[in-house]
Amino acid sequence: MTMPAYLRPLCLSLVLLAAGASAGAQGRTILPPAPTPTDVAPGSITCDECPYPYPSKYLDISVYSQDVRIAYMDVTPQDAPNGHTVMLLHGNNFGGFYFKAIIDGLTAAGFRVIVPDQIGYGKSSKPIAPYNFNSQARNTWLILQAEQIDKAMVVGHSMGGMLAARFATQYPSAVERLVIYNPIGLTDGRFTRPMPPIDEAYQRTLETDYQSTRTSLSRYVAHNPDAWNEDFETYTRIRYSWTLSADWPRLAMVQSIIGQMLYGDPVVYDWAHIQVPTLAFGGADDMLLGPAANFQERMNVLAKTIPNGNGSVLLLPGLGHVPHLEEPNTVVPPLVAFLQEGVTSSQ
């Protein structure tokens, strides 16, 4: 069988990066020092100042008997619609605002694009309540129901990759194709370290400042510090602005609770129950698991675990954890190509 064009970089990426993976980013400074900016004003924890590329809609829902609203962008195709919808699920340090390049690539290809801000993120409500991927999946499904969308292709980045897997297993009839894009949660870490008590996590989160935020986000460019650009810096300033808000204690508690979700709700056991064509996709030099070879190995395990031969993997050499902020022109075409295969096969 001929290898699809969008998968051809895979072999090269694995050969080069398995041999050249570095020792990881832990314990060293990734970026040169920078002074804390003095021109950042307190920011709204509902992301009023965030650079959303398109307007947001809001859906009123209930979470643990609390009335909340979930925000989402609903972007129409640029030209002739192809009749399919793609849903983009964001990572833990972002809201839907960082997906502009991917949204535009998809709408140019005729897709309708839905981009939720999960509860606790972006423009959505920030209730102090338990958080888990099952409830996030349900909230996401409610958006599709409200928009009368029966099926969607789902792309989940980072934490959104975990949610995408859970959504595909909780609502299998609603998913046409799946892209798990530079996910976290590739291993079940519960047996190597205890979960920090919520009060400790909260106190530590309260101490977040510009420098700690910049250090945390810099892990995304551990493979190449020169990849740090204005987009990464903008999102650092946004997150820092929240810590200056009078509402920061609420958001800090929400972030601490979500941290427990990431620890206690692993999705590695969901992969074997995914029923649709699934692409394990992203930058091959992702170093959040240590050496890039660790990430590559787990992405291959993910793809092989998808049953019925439905899993494939495409890792793009030289890119890290958020590739579409580094080289959108490299990342978007193969992503769109994989989803377009689903359009063709349904005709």
The domains of the chain, with CATH numbers, are 5-18+52-186+268-345 (3.40.50.1820)
Assess whether pLDDT exceeds 50 at residue 140: yes
Q: Rounded to an integer, what distance in angstroms lies between the CA atom of residue 156 and that of residue 173?
A: 17
What was the pLDDT predicted at 4? Answer: 52
Assess whether pLDDT exceeds 90 at residue 10: no
Assess whether pLDDT exceeds 50 at residue 302: yes
Assess whether pLDDT exceeds 70 at residue 25: no
Assess whether pLDDT exceeds 90 at residue 318: yes
Percentage above 70 pLDDT, the chain: 92
Assess whether pLDDT exceeds 90 at residue 347: no
What was the pLDDT predicted at 72? Answer: 98
pLDDT digits (tens, 9 = 90+) for 171-181: 999 999 999 99
What was the pLDDT predicted at 346? Answer: 76
Asked which of 26-30, 140-144, 146-150 is least confident by mean pLDDT, the reply is 26-30
pLDDT digits (tens, 9 = 90+) for 190-240: 999 899 899 999 999 999 999 999 999 999 999 999 999 999 999 999 999
Assess whether pLDDT exceeds 60 at residue 66: yes
What was the pLDDT predicted at 28? Answer: 57
Residue 23's pLDDT band (cuts 50, 70, 90): very low
pTM of the model: 0.92
What was the pLDDT predicted at 263? Answer: 94
Assess whether pLDDT exceeds 80 at residue 276: yes
Asked which of 7-16, 137-146, 274-283 is least confident by mean pLDDT, the reply is 7-16
